[in-house]
Amino acid sequence: MPDAEQTDVVIIGAGPVGLALAIELGQRNIRCLVIERNDRVGLSPRAKTTNVRTREHLRRWGIAEKLREASRLPPDYPSDIIFTTRLNGPLLAKITNAMNCDPRRNDLYSESAQWIPQYVLEEVMRAHAVTLPSVEIRFGSTYVDAVQDECRVTITVLCNLTGEQQSIRSAYVVGADGSRSNVRETIGAKMEGTHALAQNYNVQFRAPELAKLNPHGRAIMYWIINNEIPSVMGPMDDEEHWYFVAPRIADTSDLDPKDLIRRATNLDFEMEILGTSPWAAHSLIADKYSEDRIFLAGDACHLHPPFGGYGMNMGIADGVDLGWKLAAVLQGWGGPGLLDTYEIERRSVHQMVIDEAVANYNALGNHLTLPGLEEPGSVGDATRCEAGDVIFAAKLREFKTLGVVLGYRYDNSPIIVPDGTAPPVPHAMIYRPSAFPGCLAPHIWLGDGTSLYDHFGPGFTLLASGEEGADALARAEESAKARNFPLKTLQPRDSRLGRRYMAKFALIRPDQHVAWRGDVLPEDLDTLFDCVTGENC
Ligand SMILES: Cc1cc2nc3c(=O)[nH]c(=O)nc-3n(C[C@H](O)[C@H](O)[C@H](O)COP(=O)(O)OP(=O)(O)OC[C@H]3O[C@@H](n4cnc5c(N)ncnc54)[C@H](O)[C@@H]3O)c2cc1C
């Protein structure tokens, strides 16, 4: 074999998680090589919601607008969820502004969510990643295995075209290689939980007439509530291309997709089946996320049903968390304990999201139906009214997720400095901004129309929320410079900041979470900087 190629980080898998990590590293000039066995990104139609937090990351990377432009649905397309007995049946319930896709400004966040297929997001991320000089994506290459010693990892990669094997050496390897992760096997990690909760069946189809025949008007999801064919459907890229999901199907081997869709819609229209895919829903989490220099991220270490739209989005957040930490260590300002905090911080979030997703998956169209739901007349009307209440009670939490999406925190982490105050009470649906250490930094829109986040630096940001403190900020800048700690200081002079942050100063991490807050900067700033960079944990 020829001499091994060298890089800093090898990422296995150019799915959304591998691409997110490559961008985090590439934006910090860290050399990374992404190995992808397919010849392009975006092969399968899976996630459709890019949530508020993921879009905030896209904004930080400078590509949020690109994703908006990539949508073939009009910007005012409503992100409503319609519940009905059949697509042409009576309305049972309607949830508006699901997932916070409404593009109007909201002080709670810098970007609204977006209904857009995962394959479009992946293509936008890929196109951006390859503009970063330190990032290379190598398609048509399959990861085979890895060996590691104290200083590096050597992986073997197979070129799909020539069958040749190649060695690549790097300081770190990250397995973002999805649910059947080979990297997970390499490190001997086991998935724990419940395999195959149930089988499900997806169909993609083209039906140019369907939007006109649909009596409910525009929405992103139509939940079909009945015992015969409980299902979910909606527009995919535009109003011609649709997805259809029949969850919890006992046997997917002999299904006629056209028949399923006709029964769910109760409409007669021309349709072209573009693809079908059976898939299993799991509730699994890896027993370890790393071994020495090899890490797992995304579906490789956590899997749950896609109800609630968390999987891809949570995986992208893994890439963000691991990305800045790997960069910190490689650039020499991250301490020896920093990389261990990746699992500490992310595992509790994954566990919480798995519980949410499984609960959502246990409330499907057949669980929400009532006897006589499709009966005509006033008796049926009364039943449908009652079903509406049942649906709201069971499903609102699945589509009003801001408390989960923005409200998770890392206060169990050794690189977060507790301030002795009581933590905010978590709520799945309601996000209450808080600068309690470990929380996402509270957002505001500033007077000049920019987002507070637009002013944060690529490293840490020391935010002064009041008028005073210029001397303290100068002192912090000096201390940071003396020890190569990447720090930007910021004093936006907006009176709302003091109320939002409840402290005169807050130290914000590269991923926009609060690492420390206080009214007075510590005399010994080195101790603070040591703690938040994992130097002494
Ligand atoms: C039907 C469905 C609907 C979903 N809806 C949502 C949703 O609305 N919102 C949401 O957030 N999530 C959703 N998800 C989940 C989401 O699709 C996944 O969580 C996400 O794709 C995980 O990204 P990943 O990068 O970790 O893995 P993947 O997307 O699986 O990417 C892994 C990549 O690694 C490559 N690879 C694997 N092995 C090797 C190897 N040996 N060598 C080289 N390359 C390799 C693969 O080719 C692939 O490109 C849904 C999933 C399904 C099935």
For residue range 408-419, what is the model confidence (pLDDT) as tens digits? 999 899 999 999
Contact (Cβ atoms closer than 8 angstroms) between residue 42 and residue 70? no
Residue 278 CB-density burial (10 A; 0-12 exposed, 13-18 middle, 19+ buried) = middle
- Interval between CA 505 and ligand 1 midpoint (Å): 39
Q: Using CA atoms, how far apart are residues 330 and 326, in angstroms rounded to an integer?
A: 6
- Interval between CA 423 and ligand 1 midpoint (Å): 33
- Interval between CA 256 and ligand 1 midpoint (Å): 26
Q: What does the pLDDT average to over 260-282?
A: 96
What pLDDT is attached to residue 142?
98
Q: What does the pLDDT average to over 283-294?
A: 98
Average pLDDT of the chain is 96
Contact (Cβ atoms closer than 8 angstroms) between residue 370 and residue 386? yes
**Residue 21 CB less than 6 A away from ligand 1:** no
Q: What does the pLDDT average to over 239-258?
A: 91
**Residue 279 CB less than 6 A away from ligand 1:** yes
Q: Using CA atoms in the order 347, 350, 356, 362, what is the torsion angle rounded to 10 degrees?
A: -110
User: What are the DSSP calls for 360-372, one per residue?
Assistant: HHTS-TTTS--TT
Beta-ladder partners of 524: none
**Residue 117 CB less than 6 A away from ligand 1:** no
Q: Is the pLDDT of residue 55 over 80?
A: yes
User: What are the DSSP calls for 13-46, one per residue?
Assistant: --SHHHHHHHHHHHTTT--EEEE-SSSSS--S--
Element containing residue 374 per DSSP (H, E): none
Pick the residue with more confidence: 365 or 106? 106
Q: Using CA atoms, how far apart are residues 497 and 504, in angstroms rounded to an integer?
A: 9
Q: What does the pLDDT average to over 471-487?
A: 97
Element containing residue 218 per DSSP (H, E): none
Q: What does the pLDDT average to over 288-300?
A: 98
- Interval between CA 155 and ligand 1 midpoint (Å): 22
- Interval between CA 284 and ligand 1 midpoint (Å): 15
Q: What does the pLDDT average to over 189-207?
A: 95
The number of beta carbons lying within 10 Å of the beta carbon of residue 481 is: 11
What pLDDT is attached to residue 265?
98
What pLDDT is attached to residue 277?
93
Nearest Cα residue to atom 33 of ligand 1: 13
Name the pLDDT band for 167 (thresholds 50, 70, 90): very high
Pick the residue with more confidence: 42 or 47? 47
Q: Is the pLDDT of residue 213 over 90?
A: yes
Helix (H, G, I), strand (E, B), or coil: what is residue 383?
Answer: helix
Q: What does the pLDDT average to over 64-75?
A: 94
What pLDDT is attached to residue 196?
87
Q: Which of 40-44, 179-183, 353-357 has the weakest average pLDDT?
A: 40-44
- Interval between CA 102 and ligand 1 midpoint (Å): 26
Helices (H), 400-469: 402-405
Per-residue DSSP letter, 266:
-
Name the pLDDT band for 2 (thresholds 50, 70, 90): low
What pLDDT is attached to residue 470?
93
For residue range 109-149, what is the model confidence (pLDDT) as tens digits? 999 999 999 999 999 999 999 999 999 999 999 999 999 99
Helix (H, G, I), strand (E, B), or coil: what is residue 103?
Answer: coil
**Residue 235 CB less than 6 A away from ligand 1:** no
Q: Which of 359-368, 388-397, 429-438 has the weakest average pLDDT?
A: 359-368
**Residue 231 CB less than 6 A away from ligand 1:** no
The CA-based angle 399-511-6, given to 5 degrees, is 115
Tokens of 287: 């027993």
Inter-CA distances, 369 with 70, 92, 372, 421, Å: 37, 10, 9, 45
Q: What does the pLDDT average to over 76-92?
A: 96
What pLDDT is attached to residue 250?
82
Contact (Cβ atoms closer than 8 angstroms) between residue 495 and residue 486? no
Q: Which of 41-45, 80-84, 270-274, 391-395 has the weakest average pLDDT?
A: 41-45
CA 214 to chain CA mean position, Å: 31
Tokens of 199: 């089988």
Pocket test for ligand 1, best of 33, 37, 313 (most atoms within 8 A of CB): 37
What pLDDT is attached to residue 43?
80
Q: Is the pLDDT of residue 1 over 60?
A: no
Q: Is the pLDDT of residue 83 over 90?
A: yes
Q: Using CA atoms, how far apart are residues 410 and 327, in angstroms rounded to an integer?
A: 20
Region of 46 on the Ramachandran plot (φ > 0 left; ψ -120 to 50 alpha; else beta): alpha
Residue type, 407: G
Residue closest to 418 by CA, chosen among 518, 292, 294: 518
Length of the chain measured in residues: 537
b/e for 120-134, b at 16 or more Cβ within 10 A? bbbbbbbebbeebeb
Residue closest to 191 by CA, chosen among 322, 296, 44: 296
Q: Using CA atoms, how far apart are residues 411 and 463, in angstroms rounded to an integer?
A: 19
Q: Using CA atoms, how far apart are residues 56 and 109, in angstroms rounded to an integer?
A: 8
What pLDDT is attached to residue 75?
84
Residue closest to 363 by CA, chosen among 303, 305, 406, 403: 305
